[in-house]
Amino acid sequence: MEFVTTIGIEIHVELNTKTKMFSGGPNVYGSLPNTNVNPIDMAFPGIMPVVNKKAVEYALKACKALNMSIDETLIFDRKNYFYPDLPKGYQITQQYHPIGSNGYVEINVDGVEKKIGIERLHMEEDTAKQLHYPDYTLINYNRCGVPLCEIVSKPDIHSGKEASLYVEALRSILLYLGISDCKMEEGSMRCDVNVSIAPKGSSKLGTKTEIKNLNSIANVMKAIDFEVERQKQLILTGGVVEQETRRFDEATKQTVLMRKKTGAVDYKYFTEPNIMPITLDHNWVNDIINNLPELPKQRKERYINKLGLSEYDASLLINNKELCEYFENVSSKSNNPKQSANWIIGNVSSILNKENISLSSLKFTSDDLSNLIIMVDKQEISTKQAKEIFDIMNNTGKKPSDIAKESNMVQISDDSSIKQWVKEVLESNPNAIEQYKAGKTNIMGFLVGQVIKKSLGKANPGLVSKIVKEELDK
Amino acid sequence: MSYLDLPISKIHELLVNDKITYQDLIKEALEKAHKYQPTLNLFETIIDNPSFNGLDKSNPLFGIPYVLKDNFSTKGILTTGSSNILKDYVPVYDATVVEKLRNSGAILVGKTALDELALGGTGTNGHNGPVHNPYNLDRQSGGSSGGSVVAVSSGIVPFAIGSDTGDSTRKPAAFNGVVGFKPTWGLISRYGLFPFATSLDHVGIFTRNVLDCAYVFENLAGYDSKDMSSANTIKTQYSKNLDNSLKGKKIGIIKEINDSMSNSLVKDNMSGVISLIKNQGCEVKEFNVDERLLRAILPVYLVISCSEATSNDACLDGIRYGIREEGETYIKSIINTRTKGFSELVKRRFVIGSYCLKAENQEKLFIRAQKVRRLIVDTFNKIFEECDCVIFPASGDVAPLIKGASDDEKLSSKYLIGENHLAIANFGGFPSITIPSGFINEMPIGINITGKCFDDQKVLDIASGIENTLGLKDLVKEVK
Amino acid sequence: MKISKQELNELSNNLLFDMSEKEYETLQEEFEVILEQMDLIGEIENIDDVKPMVFPYLIKGHELREDEVDNILSKEDVLKNAKDTMMDMIKVKKVVG
C-alpha cells in the first residue's frame, strides 16, 4: 500500500527585542535566575499589560517577508489554562485575529521550486522556565513574557526533507530580518510538527501525532522520517495511529511517547479586556514593510547575477549569516567579490573549522583580509606570498602590509629586474631553449619556475611568464 | 477637638494657616481608627506609622489622611483583597492611585475591608467578617467597598478610595449618607487595582460632599502609560470649575427604574427631590426603557463579571505569593490552596464564569451578554442626547440587615431592576455619583446622578447643585 | 434547565478547587436563575445581530510602549512572597506532564 504523508509545522520564534511583549522586563538570555523580571512578568495582582512597539514592528517585518496579508488592527485574546510556568493563569495571544495570515515561503526540493503555505503568524508571550529535579521543580521567570511569533504552516509539507527545508528557509529569512537569533539549541526558535499518513488517493487525512521539542533542523527530518515509518508499520500490521504527543530521542533516533492526547482542551478564549483594539498607523506600517533588509533570496540572486559568484559559493555564504556578513564587509572593501569568496570559503573557513573558533575569535579583521586581497590585485605581492602572509596574519594579528614589509615579501614587477633574471636563467639552460624551439613548449614552466626561484619567490609570476615567452620567441 | 469630620477645604485652611499640623490629623485618624475598629470591623490594616511626602502645600489634599480599599497594591504594606488566599501578601509595587495620592501630600492611614476580591455587594463577605454600618450596627455597610465607605461615614477620614464594578462605591455611599463617585472608565488608572472584571472595573471615591470629591478626583485623573485603557484627557481642575447652578439643566428620570423601588418611601424621596430641583429651574423629563433590557442588567452583569473574574483570579495559586497549602503533588497543593483560600461565594462566582466561557456556551452566554450590554449602553447614550444626565434612587431601600446577607448574595430574581440598575454606568463606563438624599427610619438613602462618558464635570456640577438644594452634606455618624 | 452536580464538579476541578455538596446545591439553584434569565434575553428581537461590546468605549491613537527596560525587580522582591524557594528560584513539587 502506498501512503501520502501530510505534515504541519508550528514554529515559535523568540523576538530579540530589548524588553518583553507586555512589560518593560529585560529580554536577555542566560542571566542569573529571576533577575530579568518586572512586576507584570510575575503576575502580581493588579498588574496590566502594555504592548511592546518593537515586537509589533518585528512581527510586521516577518509577515511581509513571508508574503502574508497583514491585519493592521491588533486584537489580543486570553488563552486560559493552569500551569506553573504561566503565572497569570492565562497567556495573552492572538487567537482570532492573527497579525498575519495566508502567506508562503519558497523552498527548493531537489531542483524543483515549491511554495509552502503559511496559515498564520501571531504574537504572544513566552512562559517561565521550569527546571525539573527528581522531587521538585524550580521556576525561573526571566523568560516569562518574552515576545513570541507563532508561525503555523498549511499542511503543504509531505516529507521530512521538505520539512527541514521549510524550517531552514523560515529560519534564514527571520535571521536576515534581524528579528531573532533563531537558535534552536537555545530555544529561541522552537519547532513542533504534526505528522499523519493516509493511503494514497484517500480524501481524508490520517490521525496526526505531534512531535515536540525538536532542537535542530536535522532532527526535524530524522524525527519525521522515523515517525512516518512507525505509523506505516503500525497500520500495515493492523494497528491504529492514536493521537499522541511524542518527542524525539536523539540517542536512539526514535520518536518516543510523551503523553496521549485525551481530547481537545477548552482554553475558553475571549478578548483580552486590558488591551483595546489598536489600529496601527498605516504610514508607520508601510514604512516598516517597505524597508526590509535584504533577504536571503534577493541576496543570493545578487551574488550570482551581480557579483558573479557560483551558485555553490553563493549558497554556502547565504546559509551562514555570520560568514555572509563577513563576506559583505570583505568584498565591499576589497571590491573583489570572487576572491573574497574564495578566501572566506577556503582559507578562513578551514581555520574556523580546524580550530573550532568563531569569526570573532580570529586575530585578524575583515579589513585586514580586504587589504590582503587589494595587495594581490595591485600586484604588490604574489598569490603565493599572500598565502604566506595570511598564515602569519592569522597567527599574529599583524597587518598584511606590515608583514609584507618585515618579511621583505614584496612582489617584484619591474621589467628590468625580471629581464635580468630571465637572461641569467636562459644562459644557464641553453638546452631548454633548443627543446622549446623543437616544440616542447611546456619547458617554459620549468624556466619560469627557475626565474621565480632565482628571485627568491618575489618575482611576479605573470610577468615572468610573459617575459620568458618573449625571450623564447625571439 | 476633631477636625477630620470637617470638609477638606476647611481642614486645608487650618493646615495652611498653621492652626493644626498634619501630625495632629494623623493622630486623630489613628485614634478614631483604633477606637472604631472593634465595633465597625472596617480595617484589614491600620498603618500606625504612616509616611508623608507632601511637597505642594497648595494642594487641598496636602496633609489629609485617607484610607484605601484593600484591593489596591501598596508596596511594603499588607494587601489581602480581604481574601484568605492573600492574607499574608505584601506587594513589591504601588498602584498608580497610591503614588498619585502620595505625591498630592495625602497620608495613607489604613487599608480597608471589602467583600472578598470585590466579588460581593454587602460588605459581609470579607475574610474577617462583616463591616458594620455606623448608622445601625446590625445593618450592612454595603459592598464591596464596605470598609472604605464606613471610614468616611463614621468620620475617621475625610476621603477614602474604593472600587466600583457593578455599584460597589455608589450603593454603599447611599447606605451611609456619603458621596460615592465613579468617574468615566479609564479616567483614573487601574494599574495596581486587583482586577475583578476588567471591562467593568473603576476606581471609586468616597467623600462627604461633592467639592471634596472633585479635589480627590482631579488629583487622580490622568493618563497613565502603565494602563492601556487609560484615557488621554486634558488635565482638568474639576473643583475650580464646579458649577452648582441647576437652572436650565435637563434631568432625565427612568420610569421603570423609579417604579421598581421596593420601598415606597424611596419613591417618595425621589419625587421630593424631583420637585425641589424643578424649583431650581431644572427641566425634568421622563424616559421609558424597555423593561426586558432593565431586567437583563443583573444576568448580563453576572455573566460578564463572573467570566472575567474567573480569568483574572487564575493567578491566585499560592506559587509566587499568598498562602500555600501542602499537597502530595503540585496540583494537589494548588487545589488545597484555592479550596481553603477562597470563600464559598467567590468559588460559586468562578464556576459560573467558567461555565459561561466554555466553548460550547460562550455564544449563548458570554457573547450574548456582551450584546445586551451594547443594547443597554446604546439606549442610555440615546437618552443622553436629550438630557444632561439621568437621576434615580441609588437603591430601593435602606441598608439591609447583616443577618441574612448570604441570602442577599445568593442570586435570585427578586428586585431585579431596583437593586441592579447602577451597573448601567459600569456597562457604559458612564460617570456616576451618589449623594445623600434623605433618611428612612434614621437610615440614610441616596440618589444617583449618571451622565455620558467624559461628562464628569457636568455630573459633578449637577450633583453639587442637587446637594446644595437638598442641604444634605458633611454627614458624620459618630460611633459610641 | 438543571445543571448536574457532575458538571459543576468538573468545572470546579478545572478551576483547581473543591466544593462541598451544599455549595453545589446552592450553585445549582443560582444557575437555574441565571440560565432562565439569559433565556429570556434570547427573546429580545434581533439580539444576535448586535455586535458584542467588550469595552465601554474604544479609544484611538493610544501609544504602544517603547522598547525600553523599565522597573526591574530585585531578585529578593521576586522571591519575597513565595513560600518555598531554592537557588534563587521558586520551588514547587515536581511538575509532571
E strands present in A250-364: 254-260, 270-271, 278-279
Mutate to test the interface with B, among C27, C48, C91 (most CBs of B within 10 A): C27
Largest Cα separation within chain A, whole Å, is 99
CB spacing of C30 vs B428 below 8 angstroms: no
Cα(A180)–Cα(A183) distance, integer angstroms: 8
Rounded to an integer, the average pLDDT of A250-259 is 91
Instruction: Find cell 497567556 and name the residue.
Output: A91
A402 and A420 in a single domain? The answer is no
For residues A307 and A254, membership in a common domain is answered with no
A106-139 confidence digits (pLDDT tens): 999 998 999 999 999 999 999 999 999 999 999 9
The arrangement of strands across the sheet holding B107-112 comes to B43-46, B107-112, B65-69, B159-163, B203-207, B179-182, B432-440, B443-450, B389-393, B250-254, B283-287
Cα B270 to Cα A224, B17, B266, B284, distances in angstroms = 75, 41, 6, 12
Cβ of A33 within 8 Å of Cβ of C88? The answer is: yes
Smallest CA–CA distance, residue B400 to chain A, in Å, is 31
Same domain, A379 and A427: no
Of A80, A87, A276, the CB nearest to B229: A276
What is the rounded CA–CA span in Å between residue A120 and residue A179? 18
User: Residues B297, B417: contact at Cβ < 8 Å?
Assistant: yes
C neighbour chains, 3+ CB pairs within 8 Å: A, B
Across residues A282-295, what is the average pLDDT?
96
Is C89 within 8 Å of A138 when comparing Cβ atoms?
yes
Instruction: Write the pLDDT tens digit of every residue in A140-152.
Output: 999 999 999 999 9
Is residue A457 in a domain? Answer: yes
Instruction: Give the pLDDT score at B392.
Output: 96
Determine the average pLDDT of the residues in C3-29.
95
Cα–Cα distance for residue pair B83/B128, rounded to 1 Å: 8
Other CB atoms within 10 Å distance of the CB of residue C4: 10
Pair (A209, A331) in one structural domain: no
Domain boundary among A372, A406, A440: A406
Cell 447611599 sits at which residue?
B174
- Tell whether B90 is within 8 A of chain A (Cβ): no
Looking at the fold, whether A101 and A238 belong to one and the same domain comes out as: yes
Q: So what's the pLDDT on residue A92? A: 98
Helix B344-357 and helix B291-312, axial crossing angle in degrees, nearest 10: 100
Residues A175-199 have a mean pLDDT of 95
Whether B314 has its CB under 8 Å from any CB of chain A: the answer is yes
> Quick one: cell of B40?
465597625
Q: Does any domain span residue A150?
A: yes
**Nearest residue in B to C23, CA atom:** B344
Regarding whether A240 and A92 lie in a shared domain, the answer is yes
Per the CB < 8 Å rule, is B319 touching A89?
Answer: no
Is position A173 within any domain? yes
Q: Compare CB distances from B411 to C15, C19, C34 and report the shortest one's residue.
A: C34
- The whole-angstrom separation of Cα B440 and Cα B265 is 7
Q: How far apart are CA B334 and CA A273, in angstroms?
A: 26
The number of distinct structural domains making up chain A is 3
Half-sphere exposure of C12 (CA within 13 A, CB side): 24
Beta bridge partners of A132: A137
CA distance C94 to chain B (A): 7
Highest mean pLDDT among A181-190, A387-396, A402-411, B427-436: B427-436
Nearest CA in chain A to B355: A268
Across the range A304-316, mean pLDDT stands at 94
Quote the cell numbers at residue C67.
522598547
Q: What is the ipTM of this complex?
A: 0.96
pLDDT for the residue numbered B203: 98
Are A463 and A421 in contact by the 8 Å Cβ rule? The answer is no
Q: Are A48 and B81 an interchain contact pair (Cβ–Cβ within 8 Å)?
A: no
Main-chain phi, psi angles of A17, to 5 degrees: -75, 170
Same-domain status, A431 and A387:
no
Torsion sign (Cα): A455, A459, A465, A469: negative
What is the SS3 string spanning chain B? CCCCCCCHHHHHHHHHCCCCCHHHHHHHHHHHHHHHHHHHCCEEEECCCCCCCCCCCCCCCCCCEEEEECCECCCCCCCCCCCHHHCCCCCCCCCHHHHHHHHHCCEEEEEECCCHHHCCCCCCCCCCCCCEECCEEEEECCCCCHHHHHHHHCCCCCEEEEECCCCCCHHHHHHHCCEEEECCCCCECCCCECCCCCCCCCEEEEECCHHHHHHHHHHHECCCCCCCCCCCCCCCCCCCCCCCCCCCCEEEEEHHHHHCCCCHHHHHHHHHHHHHHHHCCCEEEEECCCHHHHHHHHHHHHHHHHHHHHHHHHHCCCCCCCCCCCCCCHHHHHHHHHHHHCCHHHHHHHHHHHHHHCHHHHHHHHHHHHHHHHHHHHHHHHHHCCCCEEEEECCCCCCCECCCHHHHHCCCCCCCCCCCHHHHHHHHCCCEEEEEEEEECCEEEEEEEECCCCCHHHHHHHHHHHHHHHCCCCCCCCCC
- Closest by CA to A220, choosing from A184, A180, A175, A186, is A184
The C-alpha cell that represents B447 in the structure block: 440618589
Nearest to B161 by CA among B192, B133, B199, B129: B192
Q: Which residues contact B296 (CB under 8 A, 6 or more apart)?
A: B372, B376, C37, C40, C41, C44
- Report d(CA B308, CA B314) in Å as an integer: 10
Sequence-separated (6 or more) residues with CB below 8 Å from residue A378: none
- Chain A residues bordering chain C (beta-carbon distance below 8 Å): 17-19, 23-26, 32-39, 42, 50-56, 82-84, 130-141, 259, 271, 273, 276-279
CA distances from A468 to A437, A441, A465, B273 (A): 13, 12, 5, 121
Same domain, A37 and A171: yes
Q: How many residues does chain C have?
A: 97
Burial class (CB in 10 A: 0-12, 13-18, 19+), C96: exposed
Q: How far apart are CA B200 and CA A273, in angstroms?
A: 10
Which chain A residues touch B90 with a CB distance below 8 Å?
none
Q: Select which of B73, B104, B163, B168 is catalytic.
A: B168
Q: What 3 state SS string does A72-114 have? A: CEECCEEEECCCCCCCCCEEEECCCCCCEEEEEEEEEECCEEE
Q: Look at C64 and A278 and tell me if their CB atoms are within 8 Å.
A: yes
CATH number for the domain harbouring residue A457? 1.10.10.410
d(CA C26, nearest CA chain B) in Å:
8
Q: Does A142 lie in the same domain as A31?
A: yes
Q: The domain that contains B103 carries what CATH number?
A: 3.90.1300.10
Q: Are A38 and A4 in contact (CB under 8 A)?
A: no
C-alpha–C-alpha distance, residues A171 and B395, integer Å:
62
Query: How far is residue B303's CA from residue B369's CA, in Å, rounded to a whole number?
Result: 7
From the list A38, A82, A131, which residue is nearest C73 (CB)?
Answer: A38
Q: Residue B136 in contact with residue B150, Cβ under 8 Å? A: no
Residues of C whose CB is below 8 A from B308: none
Q: Rounded to whole angstroms, how far apart are CA atoms B52 and B100? A: 13
CA dist C49 and C47 (Å) reads: 5
**Distance in angstroms (rounded) separating the CA atoms of residues B306 and A87:** 20
Structural domain range at position B360: 1-480
Q: Is B260 a catalytic residue?
A: no
Helix (H) or strand (E) holding A11: strand A3-14
**Which of A32, A51, A133 minimises the CB distance to C65?**
A51
Instruction: State the Cα–Cα distance between residues C34 and A333, nearest whole angstrom.
Output: 75
Q: Are A376 and A339 within 8 A, CB to CB?
A: yes
Spatial distance between the Cα atoms of A453 and B290, rounded to a whole number of angstroms: 109
**Which amino acid, one-letter code, is at B466?**
I
* B157 φ/ψ sector (left φ>0, alpha ψ -120 to 50, else beta): beta
Nearest residue to B158 (alpha-carbon basis) of B238, B77, B101: B101
Instruction: Give yes or no for a cis peptide into B271 (omega within 30° of 0).
Output: no
> Is the CB of residue B100 less than 8 Å away from at least one CB of chain A?
no
Whole-number Å distance between alpha carbons of B102 and B100: 5
Please list every residue in chain A whose beta carbon sits closer than 8 Å to the beta carbon of residue C62: 276, 278
Domain assignment present for residue A288? The answer is: no
- Same-domain status, A162 and A277: yes
Contact across the interface for A46 and B359, Cβ inside 8 Å: no
Residues of C in contact with A42 (CB under 8 A): 73, 78
Side-chain-side CA neighbours of residue A392 (13 Å): 18
- Nearest by CB to B321, from A44, A88, A275: name it: A44
Region A285-289 average pLDDT: 97
Q: Does B319 touch chain A (CB under 8 A)?
A: yes
Nearest-5° Cα angle at A439, A433 to A444: 50
Q: In tens digits, what is the pLDDT along chain B, a chain of 480 residues?
A: 799 999 999 999 999 999 999 999 999 999 999 999 999 999 999 999 999 999 999 999 999 999 999 999 999 999 999 999 999 999 999 999 999 999 999 999 999 999 999 999 999 999 999 999 999 999 999 999 999 999 999 999 999 999 999 999 999 999 999 999 999 999 999 999 999 999 999 999 999 999 999 999 999 999 999 999 998 888 899 999 999 999 999 999 999 999 999 899 999 999 999 999 999 999 999 999 999 999 999 999 999 999 999 999 999 999 999 999 999 999 999 999 999 999 999 999 999 999 999 999 999 999 999 999 999 999 999 999 999 999 999 999 999 999 988 777 777 766 677 789 999 999 999 999 999 999 999 999 999 999 999 999 999 999 999 999 999 999 999 987
Domain that holds residue A84: 3-282
pLDDT for A52 = 98
Packing angle, helices A311-318 and A296-305, rounded to 10? 150
CA gap A410, A421 in Å, rounded: 16
Element (H, E) at C86: strand C85-86
pLDDT digits (tens, 9 = 90+) for A432-457: 888 888 888 888 888 888 888 888 87
- How many angstroms away from the CA of B326 is the closest CA of chain C? 10
What is the per-residue pLDDT across C17-52, written as a single tens digit (0 to 9) for each? Answer: 999 999 999 999 999 999 999 998 888 989 989 999
Number of domains in chain B: 1
User: B118-127, pLDDT tens digit by residue?
Assistant: 999 999 999 9
pLDDT at C62 over 90: no
Confidence at residue B415, expressed as pLDDT on a 0 to 100 scale: 62
Task: Mark yes or no for CB contact A270/B307 under 8 Å.
Answer: yes
pLDDT > 90 fraction of chain B, expressed in percent and rounded: 94
With CB atoms and an 8 Å threshold, state whether B364 touches C84: no
Residue of B32, B69, B111, B249 with catalytic role: B69
List of chain B residues whose C-beta atoms are within 8 Å of the C-beta of residue A75: none
B144 is catalytic: yes
* pLDDT value of residue C1: 62
Contacts of B126 (CB under 8 A, 6+ apart): B44, B82, B113, B114, B115, B116, B146, B147
- In chain A, residues with a C-beta closer than 8 Å to the C-beta of B319 are 84, 87, 139
Which residues of chain C have a CB within 8 Å of the CB of A50?
65
Identify whether B168 is a catalytic site residue. yes
